[in-house]
Chain A
Amino acid sequence: MKISWHWIKEFSPDLPFTSVEGMVKSLHECGIGVDTVEERRGDWLLDIEITPNRGDFLSLYGVARQLAALHGTTLLPVSTRPLEEVEETSRHIRVDIEDVEGCPRYACRVIQGVKVGPSPAWLVEKLARVGVHTVNNVVDITNFVMWELGHPLHAFDADRIEGSHLRIRRAGKTERLLPLDGGELLLSPEILVIADAQRPVALAGIMGGKVSSIQNSTQNLVLESAWFHPTVIRKGIAMTGVRSDSSYRFERGTDPDMIPVALDRAAQLISEVSGGKVLRNMVERYPNPDPPRKLSLRYNRITRILGYSISPDEAMGALKRLGYAIGVKTGDQVEVEPPSFRRDVHLEVDLIEDVAQLMGYQHIPEISPAGTFVQVRPGFHERFIESIKKSLTGLGIQETVHFGFIPKDLPGRYPGSNSAWGPCIPLINPLRNDWAVLRSTPFFEMMSTIVFNLHQEAKGVSLFEVGTVFGPNREQKIVCGLGMAGLAAEKTWDHPERSFDLFDLKGTVDHLLETLKLSHHSRWEPIDREPWNPGTALALRVKGVEMAVIGGVTEVQDGHWVWYGQVDLDQMEKVAIIKIPHEVLPKYPAITRDVALTVKRYQRVGELAEVIRDAAGPWLERVTLFDVYEGSPLPADQKNVAFRLVFRSAQDTLRHEQVNQTVEALVAKLEQVCGARLRAERPS
């Protein structure tokens, strides 16, 4: 909302601001934010931000009232003395409230013989300062009073009100209304309308209808000043999509006591600027007047909430300045009644807030809480995630963070992604098509980020993201996405370049398994699963449960080959061990044997390793594959494979003969199961 310093000053001329900075500071102390400040012909125009609880700040008078309370300056009343004719208003308009809940109070006046035309210069200028465009002298006055006093008004062309009868009622199912702005609306019973004898003429509190609006030819007016319930207004906005400066104020709660004031103020000004004659007395319906709101304030509660003591006199003084009526004092508490414009005050703590704010939050001391210490060590989940991230960054992989929404059509461009990770759930109200569905995997964002980086200066990237993914029915779990592409190592003076491949990804996951003490329970299986390219993918089973899939994927946009893997961290957390037990260092020396084999070219190395592990007995500490050779002088259907085996006994020093026997048995097994031939076996 825009405000003008000069206008504010009309209500409280002794406000002490000598600079706009001073005014901004005071506004801040009232809880009013300031977005922009502009100087215009000696005036300061400020765009201010009002929190939704303070509907009473949505006017120049309302802001001046608070500033005057803060500084203890005067607050002048506005002039509200329309010159009335002898003719009674009630002879020209009849009002019936048929929905008292939606409209507790309704008042109107009739002004006859207006000359609708351009507004006088002072009015145009004043409205311009608060950012309101001029329409005509009648509408401008209703806007003027709304900005001035915060109470929305509406003017009808009296001659277009059928039967000179206004009914405040719910709309019928088939009724229609053409509002001032926008197309014709089909109404419904949730919507409160102002109707004449025939049909709706306005969306109550939101917008008037076109037919009954003020035209240049309008001569007689019905001027409305009413109080609509915020909930009804919000419902109306939601149903029609129509909103206005009026509805903005009504939905934040207006002051019921302002109704006659605003009405008289506007009637007086309209007759001044458009020459109309104001009929005698307003017509008003207020069947159930707002009961007084009495609240108790306990002095010790102030101290308990704020943490410092304010004397009862100080507290009462503050509330009085804010317009509260101070009632009966009994012992250590007092009864107070908030002013009618404070629709936000309901509880004792609201009073305490008002006192604290008027006294100034800067007076609240800074105290360290006392108390017992409790255990706040990170829980297992947090330590698990931390150990994953530590492992991955230690391997040179960079963490990324993504929004979690993706374009709706993106999953469809990777055939199989839906069955691999499940559907992406749509947002009902996405801001952009790019952010239309919630991710079921970090895959899509990872792919874009990899390609983005390759298009920048990166020759190779290896990234991870630990984040939430979503499924239907608010299902959510934490996964780790891993993506690698391009060069794993650039060429250096002592090293050729090398591209990322499947085994970088596999080794990364293997490292995680080692970290989490899961290696011995894990098994990789070659699989074919979209969207991974055929012949590239591996699934990891830990204790029989699939926990990761890795492989190569072709990025859709520019065909980059990306190694992508995803680990289900929720599953892995269930079996991971991060409390690291100390392992006793070996007492006895190890014996190492290299076993070089010639096997069929299509023999899977993993199977050989498994046979070795199965047949090598309890002394086998480690198996490492250190060579795979295909090519000359070997026949085309053969290859050489070499393992290094480390044996050790926990009980005593192994003898070479013992190990030799084991290796012989093992080689025999390899020959029998895989058709392997021993090339050489030697102590290394």
Chain B
Amino acid sequence: MNQELGAITLESLEVLKKRIQTELKNVSTSEEAEAFRIKYVGRKGLLSEATKQLKTVTPEDRPQVGQFLNVLKRQVESDLEGKSFVGKKTVEGGVDRTLPGRIRRKGGLHVLTSTMDDVKSILRGLNFEIVDGPEWETEHYNFDALNTPPDHPARDMQASFYMEGGGVLRTHTSPVQIRAMETRKPPLRIASVGKCFRADMLDASHSPAFHQVEGLMVGHDVSMAHLRGVLRLFFESLFDQSVELRFLPSFFPFVEPGAEVSVRCVLCQRQGCAVCKQTTWLELGGAGMVHPRVFRAMGYDEEQWTGFAFGFGIERFAMIRHGIDDLRLFYENDVRFLGQFT
């Protein structure tokens, strides 16, 4: 029987616990900490000895005493852990609390992903269902079904990458509209967000791969006024401020009437800045009323249904929201850039 320990009872252990706690307070160097560890929880330390002598305890008390010992031992070990740097890193008055904290860093989503996530959740808020489609498309879905026949100059508007073995890398997310309409009956509100490709050289505002959001709403009396109403709500959420919307005549083969959509520059408030190129307007993309030929190709009755569609560039949104002036940064994947958006 260990002299220091005496008979093992809950009472004696309680005394021991008090003693340990008092002694621990005085531990302030690593040498002291190590001595303390050996004395109590080392292989031959007091608490280890006590555990070995559990058999001397009456069977009725044994579980309770064993439990107490285990808890106490764990407590001591973790208290010591808390003091493990003590000694090396102390100053007068205790631990050197000017030492830097440990930051655990999480990774981040790519800023294009977080922009797309925002766009999706705003559109969901406007009750649009988010749908998906392939990036390597057939010419049928990318062009023909969208009222862009092979010999039409409109195909030149979107310089396309053609693939060996057939098909084309989708030049817009619009084919997803067609795929969605094939499997759904109107009325519907759908949107698609994703990567598109056009044969554009890479510069500060162009890229051969880019991302787009496309929205489509079809109903009995969906009008251009609804299009404007929905876009206002969308942009106000996206840019987190009230916006002034501008539609100008434009042409996209799959809509008629077609419009180019701008909002009053959300950065300079009519002062003119580099982002709006001193025009005070931010061009954001195209929109319009679904062309009757697109409805016809889908087998929708163009007399019964009307609808609107819109398409915008995700990179443009991200550039405006974060003040990024060079599109190449998105694809360079410099972690110093990407890490700013986590």
Contacts and interface: CB of A to CB of B under 8 A. Distances in A.
Interface of A: 28-31, 51-54, 230-231, 234-235, 251-252, 303-308, 347, 349-350, 352-353, 356-357, 361-362, 364-369, 371, 373-379, 381-382, 389, 392-405, 425-432, 435, 438, 449, 452-453, 456-458, 461-464, 467-468, 470, 472-474, 476, 492-494, 683
Interface string B125-158: 0011110101111100000000000011110110
B249 A307 contact: no
Nearest to B219: A371
Given A364-B224, A427-B163, A453 B195 contact: no
A427 B333 contact: no
A52 B129 contact: no
B249 A29 contact: yes
Contacts of A468: 135, 195
Contacts of B130: 376, 378-379, 382
Contact of B247 (A252, A362, A403): A362
A503 B232 CA distance: 50
Interface of B: 70, 85, 99-100, 102, 104-110, 112-113, 120, 124, 127-130, 132, 134-138, 151-154, 156-157, 161-167, 169, 187, 189, 195, 197, 199-201, 207-209, 217, 219, 221-226, 228-230, 232-233, 245-251, 253, 256-259, 289, 291-292, 306, 330-336, 338-339, 342
Contacts of A361: 246-249, 259
B129 A367 contact: no
A438 B163 contact: yes
Given A305-B306, A307-B223, A435-B208, A457 B336 contact: yes
Closest A-B pairs by Cβ, 6 of them: A307-B225, A307-B223, A31-B249, A51-B251, A353-B257, A361-B247
A50 B99 CA distance: 65
B134 A367 contact: no
A376 B124 contact: yes
Contacts of A382: 130
A362 B108 CA distance: 41
A430 B291 CA distance: 32
Given A365-B229, A399-B113, A494-B99, 6 more contacts: A306-B224, A307-B228, A401-B330, A403-B331, A425-B163, A474-B136
Given A349-B291, A470-B136, A367 B225 contact: yes
A476 B132 CA distance: 13
Contacts of B151: 230-231, 234-235
A403 B209 contact: yes
A306 B195 contact: no
B305 to A, nearest CB: 11
Contact of B225 (A366, A426, A457, A467): A366
B199 A429 contact: yes
B162 A234 contact: no
Candidate in B161, B256, B257, B334 with the most chain A CB atoms within 10 angstroms: B257
B224 A399 contact: no
A493 B99 contact: yes
Contacts, number: 243
B169 to A, nearest CB: 8
B338 A353 contact: no
A353 B258 contact: yes
B338 to A, nearest CB: 5
A458 B339 CA distance: 12
A367 B335 contact: no
Contacts of B166: 474
17 contacts: A53-B251, A234-B151, A365-B225, A367-B225, A378-B130, A389-B113, A393-B106, A393-B109, A399-B338, A403-B209, A425-B163, A452-B332, A452-B333, A456-B335, A462-B107, A470-B135, A476-B135
Nearest to B123: A376
B331 A402 contact: yes
Nearest to B221: A304
A671 B166 CA distance: 61
A28 B342 contact: no
A78 to B, nearest CB: 26
A374 B338 contact: no
Contacts of A461: 335
Contact of B223 (A30, A304, A398, A404): A304
Of A231, A369, A401, A461, chain B has the most CB atoms within 10 Å of the CB of A369
Given A361-B259, A365-B228, A463-B333, A349 B292 contact: yes
A376 B128 contact: yes
A350 B109 CA distance: 44
B208 A400 contact: no
A476 B251 contact: no
B5 to A, nearest CB: 19
Contacts of A379: 130
Nearest to B167: A474
A177 B251 CA distance: 37
Contacts of A230: 151, 153
Nearest to A467: B195
A435 B198 CA distance: 12
A366 B208 contact: no
A368 B226 contact: yes
B201 A431 contact: yes
